[in-house]
Structure 1
Amino acid sequence: MSDRLVHLAANLEKVLGKRVQSIEIALGEVTVVVNADTYFESAMLMRDDPSLAFEQLIDLCGVDYQDFRDGAWNGQRFGVVSHLLSLEHNWRLRVRVFAPDDSYPLVASITPVWSSANWFEREAFDLYGIIFEGHEDLRRILTDYGFIGHPFRKDFPISGNVEMRYDPELKRVVYQPVTIEAREITPRIVREEQYGDPV
């Protein structure tokens, strides 16, 4: 285990204090889990405290932990994972926060802290349905505005809810119920006529 990672973990423990649920050092990276109610405050501290100085948010994504580890997961269903970079100290950090309510996943927006979180949070909202409280423009970014549901949730049907096609009579795109028919898939073996004959 690197001394730098141990030093970073100690700095996090000192600066964040009771805001931290856990700190783990694994696979050459530090992961800190923070409480949802202090997520925004923790983000401000991680950016502004000179002993941490995480100036950049590199990535943010939503996670659906339903059936995680083959159903052995006992925690909250939805989480948000962020990756931060400190140019000053040349270290990286993974920050994880869990939405306290599975039926209405809500966490604070960290867009005021790192503006790069803007589209990442919109993506997590669009694909997982995670609400980012305080986000100024939380709307879909990858799916159509009329899309029903959140396609990266583990309980989203594989075939979807509706399908989209171009209607040549109406000369526009229309939505209709999914029309996937069950079919039997029988592999075809195509060989040349002389296959297997002695030469």
Structure 2
Amino acid sequence: MSDRLAQLVANLEKVLGKRANSIHSALGEVTVVLNADTYLESAMLLRDEPSLAFEQLIDLCGVDYQDFRDGAWTGQRFAAVTHLLSLAHNWRLRVRVFAPEDAYPVVASLTPVWAAANWFEREAFDLYGILFDGHEDLRRILTDYGFIGHPFRKDFPITGNVEMRFDPELKRVVYQPVTIEAREITPRIVREEQYGGPV
């Protein structure tokens, strides 16, 4: 680990204390896993503490850890992962927080700390079903308003639940049950002796 990353880790340990579950560095990046109950408070410290000064939120996404590591994962299922940038120190940081409940995943919204979190949190809600407590306009952003479910969850059916099509008789878009039939696709095998030759 470089001296700069070691300094960042030391600053994080000093400022966050027990608010952080873990802080580790790998491949030139630092990741901190925060406790869900102090997530918002920790985010404010990351932004406001001069020794850290993470004034910019670059990205926020949801993650579904179901069947992670071939089912060896025993932790919580849903997490929100945020990437932060400190312009003052030229540091980057990955922040991960796990929702305490898998059935009803809720974490605090970061919109009071970084306004840029707004649409990212809406996307994580839409695609993973992670709720962000304190978000003032948490609604779908990529799927249709009547969409049922969250399509990036690992247990969501690949074919979806409904399909939509334009009905020429009704002259409008209609929703109907999925008509795609499940089938096994066997790939065509190309053998070297037949490759590029006459068929």
The answer to whether residue 152 in structure 2 is matched with residue 149 in structure 1 is no
Residue in 2 that maps onto 1:173: 173
CA distance in 1, matches of 2:111, 2:170: 42
User: How many angstroms does 1:183 deviate by?
Assistant: 4.6
Change (3 A) 1:188 1:75: closer
**Counterpart code for 1:7:** Q
1:195 lines up with 2:198 in the alignment: yes
136-145 vs 177-186, which deviates more?
177-186
Moved over 6 A (4+): none
Q: Which runs of 5+ in 1 are unaligned?
A: none
For residues 38 and 29 of structure 2, the distance between their equivalents in structure 1, rounded to whole angstroms, comes to 22
When the two structures are superposed, what TM-score results if normalisation uses the length of structure 2? Answer: 0.93
CA distance in 2, matches of 1:109, 1:11: 24
Deviation of 1:195 after TM superposition, in Å, equals 2.2
Distance 1:183 1:70, change over 3 A: closer
Q: Helix, strand or coil: the match of 2:155?
A: coil
> Distance in 1 between the 2:180 and 2:189 partners?
22
Change (3 A) 1:183 1:153: closer
- Cα displacement string for residues 48-70 of structure 1 (whole angstroms, at most 9, x for unaligned residues): 00000000000000000000011
Change (3 A) 1:20 1:182: closer
> Scaled by the length of structure 1, what TM-score is found?
0.93
Could you tell me how far apart the structure 2 residues matched to 1:160 and 1:113 are?
35
1:151-173: CA deviations, max 9, x gaps?
00000001100001000111110
Q: Could you say what the CA RMSD is over the residues aligned between the two structures, in angstroms?
A: 1.7
Q: Match for residue 14 of structure 1?
A: 14
**Counterparts of 1:80 and 1:184, CA distance in 2:** 35
The residue aligned with 1:70 is 70
1:47-196 → structure 2 map (5 Å cutoff): 47-183=47-183, 195=198
Report the identity percentage: 83
Query: How far does residue 181 in structure 1 lie from its aligned partner after superposition?
Result: 1.9
Unaligned runs of 5+ in 2: none
Instruction: Give 3-state SS (helix, strand or coil) of 2:41's partner.
Output: helix
Match of 2:46 in 1: 46
- Using a 3 Å threshold, how does the CA distance of structure 1 residues 80 and 188 change in structure 2: closer, same or farther? closer
Distance 1:53 1:184, change over 3 A: closer
Structure 1 CA distance for aligned equivalents of residues 60 and 31 of structure 2: 14
CA–CA separation in structure 1 for the residues paired with 2:58 and 2:23: 20
Q: Deviations over 1:128-186 (max 9, x none)?
A: 00000000000000000000000000000011000010001111100000011245657
